[in-house]
Amino acid sequence: MPKGPEPKVYINGKLVARVEATVSVYDHGLLYGDGVFEGIRVYGGKVFRLREHVDRLFDSARSIYLDIPLSREEMAEAITSTVKANAKQNGYIRVVVTRGAGSLGLDPRKTTDPQVIIIVDDITLYPPELYENGLEIITAATIRNHPNALSPRIKSLNYLNNIMAKVEGVRAGCLEALMLNHKGEVAECTGDNVFLVKHGVLRTPPLDAGILEGVTRNAVLELARAADIPVEEVALTRHDVYTADECFLTGTAAEVIPVVKCDGRVIGTGKPGPVTRQLRERFHQLARE
């Protein structure tokens, strides 16, 4: 199979070949995970919910005292122009802003020149058959970071909390793992938000459960309300997951994927349910539009 053209990566206003896309080893994004990012989808050559993603990127940056050297409008233009330069019709965008290079030590005042990086490429998070047959997950022993230690609404470059839970899932033979918060409530998975269906009601953890406010999560909530599906943002436990009629996950990379088993318990009929299928189709229609 012939390979496509080499991706062009945006770094600080310049488009460079992938092999030339480099940052300093003294960049605090590398040394300390000091920076923020966004993952965004491209459908039909158009960036999905660009404004929401740019706003969340700037909110994350403001929360960690990081000044992005672009305006929101300039960032949006940089993203769309990088997509066009890569002639990408359907794909994935990773926008990264690092604190910049500096000397060793945590003090952000020792850094200069935040790096703005935009990557446009392909992503496949799960095999296609899992979207039809459903995913099996486990509950990780690693809990979600305490929200009073670090706000889960910040998409920082330090994802070690999620990675450690992901390792647990992979070692158990699962591609995803459920994370609980410090109160033992369901928070989210390592990279996706969680939804349950019980007696026709769509339920998902509220923001104060210690979750990321997912752009795809919000889109699915809007679609459900537009379809007159009752929606509750409410605290959930593992018991709620085990006894749900349906379960599915949402995320920019994952989109909408059903879950049919958790911790060895079959969820519902063990097959993707009607609400999951309906919302997945509505999301695909939204993306196509």
Is 155 among the residues known to form the active site?
yes
* Residue of 8, 88, 155, 261 marked active site: 155
Number of residues in the chain: 289
Write out the two tokens for 19. 């092999």
Nearest Cα residue to 131 out of 262, 277, 264: 277
Residue with tokens 């992901």: 166
Write out the two tokens for 140. 């990780």
Write out the two tokens for 7. 């991706």
How is 52-99 classified by DSSP, letter by letter? HHHHHHHHHHHHTT---SS-HHHHHHHHHHHHHHTT-SSEEEEEEEE-
Instruction: Kindly report the backbone phi and psi dihedral angles of residue 38, in degrees, each rounded to the nearest multiple of 5, phi listed first.
Output: -140, 145
Q: Using alpha carbons, list the distances in angstroms from residue 244 to 13, 46, 197, 199.
A: 48, 36, 6, 9
Q: Where in the sequence numbering do the catalytic residues fall? A: 155
